[in-house]
Amino acid sequence: MLQTVRRSARDGLDDLMETLRGNYRTAILGWQEIATRYQRSRVGPFWLTINKGVLIAALSLVFGTLFGLEVDYFIPYLAIGLILWTFIAATLGDGCRAFSDSAGTILHVRIPLSTLVAIALYRNILILAHNAVIIPLVFLLFLRPVGWEALLALPGLALLWLNLGWMCLLLAVICARFRDVTEIVNNVLQVLFYLTPIIWTMDLIRDRVQMIWVVLNPFYHLIEVIRAPLLGEPVAAVSWLVTATLALAGWALALPFFGHYRKRVPYWL
Amino acid sequence: MSATPASIELRHVGVQFPVFNAATLSLKNRVLSSVTGGRIQRERDRHVLVRGLDDLSFQLQAGDRVGLIGHNGSGKTTLLRVLAGIYTPTEGEVRIRGQAMALINIGLGIDPEATGRENIWLRSAMMGIPPQQTRACMDEIIEFSGLGEFIDMPFRTYSSGMQMRLAFSVSTATQPQILIMDEWLSTGDEAFRTKAEARMNDMLANTEIMILASHDPNLIRHTCSRVLWLEHGQIRQDGPPETVIPAYFG
């Protein structure tokens, strides 16, 4: 049993290493969709950024008023959370479709399957980079100071990205076999959006809800390790611990799982 | 050209496909049927296993030009995919030495919105050709396609002949050790076809192992030195074209 797991993990790792060695593939194919958007209109993916900006403004107005929050804290808080959530949801959605939508490629060219997942991740990072432009603009608008501790958001982003990596790898395999999982994941993400402090803050619920229900949600920590440093707040040790452990445990699970099933994926398409 | 000569070895290779229907592709149904334990449900859900290849064993060495014949559903495409390293057999062992390239769908990876030049990058990346090599081949590919100024226009604005010419030019720009084809590539107008034919022959001469699936007896006779006749996923006959082709085409 242990031996099978180890062999599968090595198989999965081999595939992953091949993707890393052929990173030009990920770069060229991942950039393509963005390039197409630039071709259709000069502002390209910034159209999405503009949409996001409008959404943030509207939500800030509604919820800020509703909850009676200070706008110079709430709007930056909401902007960061919403942009990160969009990134998370879009990446996981693309991860689900990474294999099932690439049947043509998988059945005609020998390509490491993890490359297709890497393409989905890379493309969404590029879109995130476009959307993230809103954050400094919002900070500027409210003249919010940014300290050196904001740099802690970078390891936070790396941890988020690592976690999305194993989630996508796992989901890509499962969704290739069970096509309805894509829909299930979408539904779960929709619910999680409301359960995660993005459009509401922890302070608002402190008296009404047991904290444990929020703390159990890994997505809270994944967002917190990026949002808190940017807002100049200390990151709770538990958040670093949860995100790092989740990344380790997740990869330890996803690698043998992927290694075991990757040979079956072409037959499922 | 790589130092180690190409070789392919199949030992007792078998491939079994699960054939899924809408019900078996659904996790919800899977969970429901295990919860309700409904027997009828389970009977209907049991997916069918189709045997694509059955206990195939053969060896190919550098210099082999193999023609693959057989009726539809005899396992030709499945075997091509095994040889290209796309399918990992469910039974037996495959050993492929040398870098293989499948020219099965030459339009794959093309984005109609992108320009011709961008599509050269895309298609090359898809085939696993490193960027240095693509850069080195770029001018030659553009020249061969005969697209001229059009190379910087979006692919969707091309006539179908131009689209085929570009796809052909990129796909045949690099020389693989092992070349895998499903039918011969021929394309374009008269002038381009002659040029394309010359390039295909050139490629064929320089490739170490060629595997070509085809329904055309003349093509097989002209290009292959060995013919594998597949039937129900097994080798019905294996020999030189002079003996296998008359036996198959009758």
pLDDT digits (tens, 9 = 90+) for A5-22: 999 999 999 999 999 998
What residues does each domain of chain A span?
Answer: 2-268
Distance CA B213, CA B223 (A): 11
Among chain B residues, CA nearest to A181? B27
Distance CA B118, CA A31 (A): 11
Among chain B residues, CA nearest to A18? B128
Q: With bands split at pLDDT 50, 70 and 90, how would you rate the model's confidence at A32?
A: confident
Average pLDDT over residues B54-61: 92
A105: which chain B residues are within 8 Å (Cβ-Cβ)?
108-109, 126
Q: What are phi and psi of A112, to 5 degrees?
A: -60, 130
Q: How far is B87 from chain A (nearest CA, A)?
A: 6
- Identify from B25, B87, B179 which residue to disrupt to test chain A contact, counting A C-beta atoms within 10 A and taking the largest count: B25
Q: What local confidence, expressed as pLDDT, does residue B36 receive?
A: 62
Among chain B residues, CA nearest to A174? B27
Distance CA A83, CA A55 (A): 10
Q: In what order do the strands lie in the sheet with B226-231?
A: B100-103, B178-182, B209-213, B65-69, B226-231, B234-239
Q: How far is CA B146 from CA A98, B25, B106, B143, B190, in A?
A: 35, 46, 17, 5, 13
Closest CA to B173 of B209, B126, B120: B120
Q: What local confidence, expressed as pLDDT, does residue A261 receive?
A: 93
The token pair at B76 is 């030709």
What residues does each domain of chain B span?
Answer: 7-98+213-249, 103-207
pLDDT digits (tens, 9 = 90+) for A245-255: 999 999 999 99
| Residue carrying structure tokens 């969709």 | A33
Examine domains B7-98+213-249 and B103-207 and report if their fold is the same.
yes
Crossing angle for the helix pair A181-195 and B27-36, nearest 10 degrees? 90
Whole-model pTM: value is 0.90
Instruction: Please indicate if any CB of chain A lies within 8 Å of the CB of B181.
Output: no
The answer as to CATH 3.40.50.300 being correct for domain B103-207 is yes
pLDDT above 90 as % of chain A: 66
Task: Using the predicted structure, report yes or no on whether residue B3 has a pLDDT greater than 80.
Answer: no
Distance CA A196, CA A12 (A): 32
pLDDT digits (tens, 9 = 90+) for A204-232: 888 787 778 888 899 999 999 999 999 99
Task: Using the predicted structure, report yes or no on whether residue B1 has a pLDDT greater than 70.
Answer: no
Distance CA A74, CA A63 (A): 9
Average pLDDT over residues B124-143: 92
pLDDT digits (tens, 9 = 90+) for A128-163: 999 999 999 999 988 888 888 899 999 999 999 999
A267: which chain B residues are within 8 Å (Cβ-Cβ)?
17-18, 87
3-state secondary structure at position A242: helix
Task: Using the predicted structure, report yes or no on whether residue B38 has a pLDDT greater than 80.
Answer: no
- Which positions in chain A have a beta carbon within 8 angstroms of at least one beta carbon in chain B? 22, 24-25, 28-29, 32, 35-36, 39-40, 104-111, 174, 177-181, 184, 263, 266-268
Q: With bands split at pLDDT 50, 70 and 90, how would you rate the model's confidence at B160?
A: confident
pLDDT digits (tens, 9 = 90+) for B17-27: 888 877 777 88
Contact call for A36 and B114, based on CB within 8 A: yes
Task: Using the predicted structure, report yes or no on whether residue B45 has a pLDDT greater than 60.
Answer: no
What ranges make up the beta strands (E) of A106-184?
A: none
Closest CA to B153 of B124, B118, B188: B118
Return the number of other C-beta atoms located less than 10 Å from residue B168's C-beta. Answer: 25
- The highest-level CATH class for domain B7-98+213-249 is alpha beta
A29: which chain B residues are within 8 Å (Cβ-Cβ)?
122, 125-126
Task: Using the predicted structure, report yes or no on whether residue A29 has a pLDDT greater than 50.
Answer: yes
pLDDT digits (tens, 9 = 90+) for A57-112: 888 888 888 877 888 888 999 999 999 999 999 999 999 999 999 988 999 888 99
Nearest neighbour of A29 by CB, restricted to B27, B122, B154: B122
Task: Using the predicted structure, report yes or no on whether residue A168 has a pLDDT greater than 50.
Answer: yes
pLDDT digits (tens, 9 = 90+) for B64-121: 999 999 998 888 999 999 999 999 999 999 999 988 888 888 888 889 889 999 999 9
